[in-house]
Structure formats: structure tokens, C-alpha cells
Amino acid sequence: MYILDGKAYSQEIEKELSIEVDRLKAIHITPCLYVILVGDNPASLSYVTMKNKACSRVGIESKIIKFDENISQNVLLDEIDKLNNDKNVNGILVQLPLPKHINSNIILESIDINKDVDGFHPYNMGRLFCNLDSLLPATPFGIMMLLEYYKIDVKGKDVVIVGASNIVGKPLASLMLNAGASVSVCHIFTKDVKKFTKDADIVCVGVGKALLLSDDMVKDGAIIVDIGINKLDDGSIVGDVDFKNVSMKASYITPVPGGVGPMTISALLINTIKASKLQYEVAK
């Protein structure tokens, strides 16, 4: 069994990105990311802080705009409009989830498609589905980079994705399809998840349910990607996979923490740099 070490690989990526940012700065371009945080959700605050620190490590300018959870949708839209029209802002990220009174779809659709570093705008999603170059959703993008780094070719593989969110499951399924995999997606209405996972070559799980995937649900030699992160009553952090037992059967597996999480942040950094190049019309 081999660990798919996202933390170690993300450190390598950051070294490369630091060099790339220095090159951009040499021609007077400093990639700039603005992150909008609404409310005081501890998990969201933690994620935003990690993203901000990662930007700082590679030389990307990063700013956090905090709003009270009672902010109106129109005020939030006005702020995004200002950032869309600010030539010094290259990337805009609205940290999810948003309060219930705000329509997340409307907010995400309001972001300039060339500054949509989370890759959630329907335009960028559509280009992804059509296998065209776009700003990709960070977590699926990070997963594909991690598999490629470990020389895991998904072409011809049977892949099962547990979780059908717009943020992870659906775009990940599209990336897998684009790479030549045969993909099944399980969700809340799937009658028997085990029926799908037990014969899969690659199982990706991201539903936010601790220890959902057990060892009897996977075959020997399966590749396991754990996208979940959950906090147990004792304070420990676990994923959606029963790592202790599933790892005994897996050929490769991501740990939690230290697997998909760091890769998500690396993908965001890559998108921010890509967005800045698009806006300044810098050749790849």
C-alpha cells in the first residue's frame, strides 16, 4: 500500500509556482486573489486562512474581505461587481457555504469568468464538460494532478465517485471521463453503494460522512481517494474512508489530513496564476 501524499507534492508545486510568480513580477505582474468570507463559520475561516498563507508562500497577493452573516445578497453582489471591474484583482473566490438567505448560484454566476479561480461559474463548468481549456474546480483538479504525479493512469479504469455535488462529484466525474475512465456516480438516492464500489479500480468518496467506506466495500488493490474531512467527538479528524482497515486492501490511498486538502489549495494557486496570465495576455 502506498500513500498518495498530497502534502508532500503540494510543497513541490509551491516551489515551482514561486519561481513562476517571480517571473511574472519581473514583468510587473503580481497575481492577486480576493477571498470573500461571509459569517463566522470556523471551518470556512480555517480554510480561508490556509489559502491566504499558501498565497503568501508563493508570492501571490491575497486579501480577505469579511462580511457579517446577515449581509444582503445585493450588497454582496455589489462587492463582487467592484472586484470584477478592478484590473488589479485577478482572482475572486467566495468561500462556501453561504448563509441560507443568499442564493449561491446567483453569487457564483456573478463572478467574472476569467477571475473565477474556483471554477464554479457555469461557463467554466460547461467548458470542462466539453473538455475545453478552462479554470477547473480546485478539488477535482487537485485530485487529477495527484493521480498523475503518482503515475496512475485512469484511462480504461472503472471509477466510482461517491458524492454528486457541483463542487466535487460532478466535475470530478467529467475530468475522469475526459481522461478515458468509465465512471459511475453514487449519491443519496443510490440503492446500494457497495454494489458499485466493490468492483471499482478507483473509488473517490466525498460526502462528509465519517468512515462511510469500509473495507468490505472495496476490492484488493483498489485505489482510494478520500475527499471527506470530518471531526469526531474526541476531536480527531478523519475522512469518509475507514483508513485503518481500507488501507490494508488498497494499493494507493490518500490520508486525511494531508491528502486531497493540500492539493485543493495548490490547484487554487495554479488557477490564480493562470487567471492573471489570461487577463494580462501573457503567453503560457
Tell me the per-residue pLDDT of 24-81, one tens digit each, with 9 for 90 and over. Answer: 999 999 999 999 999 998 889 999 999 999 999 999 999 999 999 999 999 999 999 9
Residue 132 lies in a domain: no
Predicted confidence (pLDDT) per residue in 245-255, tens digit: 999 999 999 99
Query: What pLDDT is attached to residue 235?
Result: 87
H or E segment and range at residue 175: helix 169-178
Is 279 catalytic? The answer is no
Q: Does residue 180 share a domain with residue 247?
A: yes
Rama region for 241: left / alpha / beta (φ>0; ψ in -120 to 50; rest): beta
Q: For the chain, what is the radius of gyration of the CA atoms?
A: 19
Nearest C-alpha neighbor of 196 from the set 242, 234, 160, 146 = 160
> CATH no. for residue 102?
3.40.50.10860
Query: What pLDDT is attached to residue 43?
Result: 86
Tell me the three cell numbers of residue 46.
480555517
Once rounded to an integer, what is the mean pLDDT over residues 215-224? Answer: 98
Q: Which residues sit opposite 158 in a β-bridge?
A: 182
Is 11 catalytic? The answer is no
Domain that holds residue 235: 138-261
As for how many domains the chain has, the answer is: 2
Predicted confidence (pLDDT) per residue in 186-217, tens digit: 999 999 999 999 999 999 999 999 999 999 99
Is 51 catalytic? The answer is yes
Q: Does residue 91 share a domain with residue 54?
A: yes
Predicted TM-score (pTM) of the model is 0.96
Rama region for 163: left / alpha / beta (φ>0; ψ in -120 to 50; rest): left
Q: d(Cα 230, Cα 211) in Å, to the nearest integer?
A: 9
In the set 51, 115, 157, 170, the catalytic residue is 51
Predicted confidence (pLDDT) per residue in 25-40, tens digit: 999 999 999 999 999 9
> CATH no. for residue 180?
3.40.50.720
Q: Does residue 83 share a domain with residue 155?
A: no
Q: Does residue 68 share a domain with residue 163?
A: no
CB 185 within 8 A of CB 173: yes
In the set 5, 95, 157, 240, the catalytic residue is 95
